[in-house]
Amino acid sequence: MCGIIGYCGPKPAAELLVEGLRRLEYRGYDSAGICVRTGGKLVVHKKKGKIKDLRDHVPEGLDGETGIGHTRWATHGEVNDTNAHPHLDVTGRVAIVHNGIIENFDALREKLEDDGYVFVSETDSEVIVHLIASLYDGDLERAVKQAVMLLKGTYGIVAMHQDEPGKLVGARNGSPLVLGIGDHEMFLASDVTAIIAHTKQVIYIEDGEVVSVTADNYQTSDLKNRAVDKKVEFISWELEEIEKEGYAHYMEKEIIEQPDSILRAMQGRLDHEYATGHLGGLNMSRQELLSVERVKIIAAGTSYYAGMVGAYVLESVARIPATAELASELRYRNPIVEPNTVYFAVSQSGETADTLYAMRELQRKGARVLGICNVVGSTIPRESDGGVYIHSGPEIAVASTKAFTSQITAFYLFALMMARMRHLGIEAGARMIEQIESLPRLVEEVLRRKETLIPIARKYAHADDVLFLGRGINYPVALEGALKLKEISYIHAEGYSAAEIKHGPIALINEVTPSVFLIPDDGLRDKVLSNLKEVKARKGRVIALAVDGDDEVGRIADDVFWVPKASELLYPYLMVIPLQLFAYYVALELGRNVDQPRNLAKSVTVE
- Return the active site residues: 2, 602
Residue 281: which residues within 8 A CB-CB, separation 6 or more? 386, 387, 388, 389
Q: How far apart are CA 253 and CA 238, in angstroms?
A: 16
Q: How far apart are CA 481 and CA 460, in angstroms?
A: 15
Q: Which residues pair with 552 in a beta bridge?
A: none
Kindly tell me the number of DSSP H helices and DSSP E strands found in the chain.
20, 26
Name which of 376, 382, 375, 339 is nearest 359 in CA terms.
382
Run of H or E residues at 534 = helix 525-537
Query: Residues 318, 422: contact at Cβ < 8 Å?
Result: yes
Q: Can you give 80-131 as a three-state secondary structure string?
A: CCCCCCCEECCCCCEEEEEECCECCHHHHHHHHHHCCCCCCCCCCCHHHHHH
Q: Can you give 371-435 as a three-state secondary structure string?
A: EEECCCCCHHHHHCCCEEECCCCCCCCCCCCHHHHHHHHHHHHHHHHHHHHHCCCHHHHHHHHHH
Q: How far apart are CA 352 and CA 357, in angstroms?
A: 9
* 91 to 95, 126, 210: CA distances (angstroms): 10, 13, 24
Run of H or E residues at 354 = helix 353-364
**Helix, strand or coil for residue 141?**
helix
Cis peptide before 440 (omega within 30 of 0): no
Query: Residues 132, 117: contact at Cβ < 8 Å?
Result: no
Query: Residues 71, 2: contact at Cβ < 8 Å?
Result: yes
Name which of 147, 135, 102, 134 is nearest 121 in CA terms.
102
Query: Residues 342, 414: contact at Cβ < 8 Å?
Result: no
The CA-based angle 526-527-532, given to 5 degrees, is 90
Q: How far apart are CA 286 and CA 34, in angstroms?
A: 52
DSSP tag of 241:
G
Q: How far apart are CA 145 and CA 273, in angstroms?
A: 55
Residue 156: which residues within 8 A CB-CB, separation 6 or more? 4, 98, 99, 100, 170, 171, 172, 173, 175, 176, 177, 190
DSSP of 174-217, one letter per residue? BS--EEEE-SS-EEEESSGGGTTTT-SEEEEPPTTEEEEEETTE
Residue 24 CB-density burial (10 A; 0-12 exposed, 13-18 middle, 19+ buried): buried
The span from the first CA to the last CA of the chain, in angstroms, equals 11
Neighbours of 559 (CB within 10 A): 17
Run of H or E residues at 547 = strand 541-547
Q: How far apart are CA 194 and CA 99, in angstroms?
A: 15
